[in-house]
Structure 1
Amino acid sequence: MFEIRPTAYGGRGCFATCEIARGTRVHCAPTPFTAVIFRDFRKEVCGYCFAYDLGRAWKIRLRGTEIAGLWFCSEGCRERWVNEEDPSGELVPVLELIEQTVALARRKLQSSKAGEYDEDFVTEDFSFEDDAIEKLWEQVDGLLTSNSVTANPLRNPILKNRILALEDIEYDSARLIAVAIVRLFLETYTGSTPPWFTWSGFAGLESHEKDLINRLPALLESHIRVYIFLKAVMPKKFQAFVTSGNVRAVLGRESANAFGIWQLPLTTESECLGSSIFPSASYFNHSCDPNVMKTRTGRQMHFTTSRFVKKGEELCISYGMMLTMAAKARQDLLQEQWYFKCGCGRCTIELATAA
C-alpha cells in the first residue's frame, strides 16, 4: 500500500504505491520498540494497554515482584505484557533492579544529607561545539575504566551514590534505554526478536542528539549521569551493550521520533503519560495538511487515511495538536520540538499570504 523511500526535501517518507480510499488503515504498529510510563504516572497507567483513569491507581502487579515499576489495570493486561513484551523473562529483573537501586540510593542520600549531585562533567565554561561534546563522552568512558577512586564515579562511593539517586527525568530515560538494550541483547544472541523489536530497525531512524543538546544544554549532564547509572547497575551479561554510543543512540532518536503516550480521549487538556518509540511509524512525516490520522488503541498505533490519496503521494501525519494554530506559530513549534522548517503546501501558501 505504501513504500518507504527518500523524499525530495531530505530523509525518508512513506509514499502510496496505489490509490487509497479515505478511511483505509494503512499501517498498524503493534507495540513500541521501547517505551516508558513517566514516574509520576507509573501507578496510574496500565503497563500494557496504557489505560489511565483520571489518577486512579491500579492494584495489579507482576507475580513475584513488588517493585518493577509496573502496574496493570487487569490480570489480562498483566499476562499479555509478560507473554508479549517479556517472553524471555530478561526484562523484568532489569526493571526491578533499576527500581531497587534508585530507591536505595535516594534513601542513603537523604539520610546522609550529602546534597544533590554536583554537575562535574559539564562545567560552566563548557563549549557545546560538536568536537567538545565528543571529547567529553570519550573522557567519561575513560573515567569509567580508570582505577582512580576519586576520578572514577563507579569507584567513588559518594559520587556513585549521588549518581544512582537519579532525578525523575533521568529515571524515565534509564528505563527507556534499558528496555532497548535488552531488545538488542536478545536480537544479538537469540535472533528470535519480532520485527518491531529489532535494534536494526530502530537504528535506521535519524538521531537528533545535537539538536536536542543545543536546545537544552543541561541535558548533556543528565545523559551522562544516565549512562553511568546503567554502567553501574545493568547485569554483567548486558554490559557489552551498555556503551555511550548505544545510550546516545536511544536518547538522540527518542528526541524527535517518539510518540507521546497521551491520556485518551485526546483533547487539548490531555496529560502526556509517557513516551514510546515505534520505528515503523516514524517514517510518516509531518504535514500541516495531513492525509493520515494517527490514533492510539491500547499500546498499538493505528494510521488511517483522512482523505483520498493518489498513487505516489506522500502519506503524512500531524506531529501534534497544532493544526488550528497560525502558520508562524506552527513553524516555530516544529522547529523547536522537531528541528525542521515545515515546507508543506499549506505552510507555503499561508506564509506567502501573510507576507
Structure 2
Amino acid sequence: MALIGGQTQTELFTIRETPGAGRGVFADVDMAAGTTLWRADDLTAHVVLREYRGEVCWECFGYNRGRKLPVRDATHGFTFCSAACAAGFKARYDEVCLQTWAAVYQSSQARAQKAKEGPGPAPAGDETPAKPTGQVINEAWDSAVATAAFIIDVRTAGAKATKAQKRALQLAATRVVPSTDVLTFQTHALLTRYISPSHWAAILSLADEPCPYTTQQELQDHITAYLHLAAIVPPALLPLLATADTLRTAKSREVHNSFGIRSLEDAGSEFFGYGCWPSASFFNHSCRPNVRRRRTGRVWTFEAACEIPSGRQLCISYLNGEEDALDLAERRARLCKTWGFSCACERCGSSQS
C-alpha cells in the first residue's frame, strides 16, 4: 500500500511491513490528540446504491433525510444537492467520460423500460452457490475476454461488419445487466484508469483478493457488465476493455479495501454505497483504535484519537464505531465475514473482551 505517487512516508508517519498484517502505518513523531494525519481525496471507484440515487448527491454524498435532491442531470442520470456539485461532476471528466456515463444511463433506462413491459423469464437457479474458486473465476473471465474481443472487432470494423456481426453487437449492447450497481462501479473504475493514471497506480498497490466473488451469480453479474461496457463505451475506451484487467483489478482490490458511504448523522445508520480511496486503505484495524476517521464530502480525514508516541502503529476501526458494543466473538465474526481476517489486535489478544 502506498500513498498517491508511490510515497511510503510523510513527515508524520511511515508505511512499512508489519508481521502478520501486511503493511501498516507507524508514527515517526510523538503526536498530540487531534493531530491531522492524512486527508484522502483519491476516490478511485464508487457506487451509490440504486435505491438511493435520487436522495444522495453523486458528487458530495450529501443526504437530506430521504428527500429527493433538487438537481437532476437528465443526460447522465445522477442527482445532486446543488448546481455547484453538478458542475463539479462535469469538471471532473473529459468528453469521452461524459459520453460513457450517458451511454450507461441510457442502457439502464432501456432496462427499466423492459421491466415495465413485463418480467422476462425467471432466472435459472444458482447451481453453484458456493464461493467461486480461482480456477472457476479465471475460466469464466477468459471466456468473457474472448467474447469481448469479438465485440471490439465488430465495433472496429464499423460499416465493414457483416449482418451477423452487427446482430451480435446489437445483442451485446442490449444485454440485460442484472446489477446496475455493478455496472456503475465498473464504469467509475474504467474512467479512473483512463483519466487518472496516478490514482490507478495507487489501487494496484492495495492488497489483492484472488477470489473476491461470494457467489457464482456475483461473478456472472461482473462479467455481464464487462461485456455490456465493451458494446457501448466510446471507441477511445475500447483498448482498456481488450482485457479484463481493469475491472478484475478494481473488484479484487475493492473487496477488502473499500469504505462505506454512510449518512453523517445518526451514527451512520444509513448505508448508501461504498468506494475505494487507495491512500485511505493503508491503516490497519484495531478494536481499540488510536486514529479516528471522518468523511467530509468526498474526502476522508484521519486524526489522532489520543496521544500517540513515536513508533506506535496507527490503526482505525473497521467496525464503524461499533467495536465497544460487540464482544470478542462478535467482533471477530464480523471482521472475518466482511474483511477476511480473524482479529488479533492488542485488545482481542488480551483477556479483555
Taking structure 2 as the reference length, the TM-score comes to 0.84
Structure 2 unaligned runs (5+)? Answer: 1-11, 155-161
Q: Which residue of 2 aligns with 1:107?
A: 113
Partners of 2:192 and 2:298 lie apart in 1 by 17
Q: For the Cα contact (< 8 Å) 1:26–1:303, is it kept in 2?
A: yes
Alignment partner of 2:69 out of 58, 73, 76: 58
Give the secondary-structure state (helix, strand or coil) at the position aligned to 1:15: strand
Q: Which residue of 2 aligns with 1:155?
A: 168
Q: For the Cα contact (< 8 Å) 1:90–1:182, is it kept in 2?
A: no
Note the aligned Cα RMSD (angstroms): 2.9
Q: For the Cα contact (< 8 Å) 2:33–2:304, is it kept in 1?
A: yes
Q: Which residue of 2 aligns with 1:294?
A: 293
Alignment partner of 1:171 out of 180, 185, 190: 180
Partners of 2:253 and 2:129 lie apart in 1 by 27
1:70 aligns with 2:78: yes
Q: For the Cα contact (< 8 Å) 1:34–1:277, is it kept in 2?
A: yes
Structure 1 unaligned runs (5+)? Answer: 189-194
Shift of 1:309: 1.0
Shift of 1:108: 3.9
Greater shift, 42-51 or 327-336, is seen at 42-51
Relative to structure 1, the CA distance from residue 38 to residue 345 in structure 2 (aligned partners, 3 Å threshold; closer, same or farther) is same
Shift of 1:183: 2.0
Greater shift, 110-119 or 318-327, is seen at 110-119
Q: For the Cα contact (< 8 Å) 1:154–1:232, is it kept in 2?
A: no
Shift of 1:79: 2.5
Partners of 2:225 and 2:102 lie apart in 1 by 16
What is the aligned-residue identity percentage? 27
1:251 aligns with 2:251: yes
Relative to structure 1, the CA distance from residue 49 to residue 183 in structure 2 (aligned partners, 3 Å threshold; closer, same or farther) is same
Q: For the Cα contact (< 8 Å) 1:68–1:96, is it kept in 2?
A: yes
Relative to structure 1, the CA distance from residue 78 to residue 264 in structure 2 (aligned partners, 3 Å threshold; closer, same or farther) is same
Partners of 2:28 and 2:63 lie apart in 1 by 38
Q: For the Cα contact (< 8 Å) 2:131–2:216, is it kept in 1?
A: no
Partners of 1:160 and 1:110 lie apart in 2 by 19
Shift of 1:325: 0.3
Shift of 1:76: 2.2
* 1:234-260: CA deviation from partner (whole Å, max 9, x where unpaired): 211101112322111111212111111
Relative to structure 1, the CA distance from residue 283 to residue 75 in structure 2 (aligned partners, 3 Å threshold; closer, same or farther) is same
Partners of 2:44 and 2:131 lie apart in 1 by 34
Shift of 1:223: 1.6
Relative to structure 1, the CA distance from residue 110 to residue 79 in structure 2 (aligned partners, 3 Å threshold; closer, same or farther) is closer
Shift of 1:135: 1.8
Relative to structure 1, the CA distance from residue 5 to residue 251 in structure 2 (aligned partners, 3 Å threshold; closer, same or farther) is same
Alignment partner of 1:15 out of 21, 26, 29: 26
Shift of 1:160: 5.7
Relative to structure 1, the CA distance from residue 112 to residue 77 in structure 2 (aligned partners, 3 Å threshold; closer, same or farther) is closer
Relative to structure 1, the CA distance from residue 126 to residue 236 in structure 2 (aligned partners, 3 Å threshold; closer, same or farther) is farther
Give the secondary-structure state (helix, strand or coil) at the position aligned to 1:78: helix
Paired AA for residue 337 in structure 1: T
Shift of 1:157: 5.5
Partners of 2:167 and 2:182 lie apart in 1 by 19
Shift of 1:341: 1.1
Q: Which residue of 2 aligns with 1:192?
A: none
Greater shift, 175-184 or 333-342, is seen at 175-184
Q: Which residue of 2 aligns with 1:308?
A: 307
Give the secondary-structure state (helix, strand or coil) at the position aligned to 2:281: helix
Q: Which residue of 2 aligns with 1:137?
A: 141
Shift of 1:67: 3.5
Partners of 1:41 and 1:318 lie apart in 2 by 26
Q: Which residue of 2 aligns with 1:333?
A: 334
Paired AA for residue 255 in structure 1: V
Paired AA for residue 80 in structure 1: G
Partners of 2:78 and 2:120 lie apart in 1 by 30
Paired AA for residue 84 in structure 2: G
Partners of 1:109 and 1:36 lie apart in 2 by 22
* 1:263-305: CA deviation from partner (whole Å, max 9, x where unpaired): 111526x211121111000001110010000111111111011
Partners of 1:318 and 1:132 lie apart in 2 by 33
Partners of 2:340 and 2:128 lie apart in 1 by 25
- Report how many residues are paired: 329
Give the secondary-structure state (helix, strand or coil) at the position aligned to 1:90: helix
Partners of 1:29 and 1:141 lie apart in 2 by 34
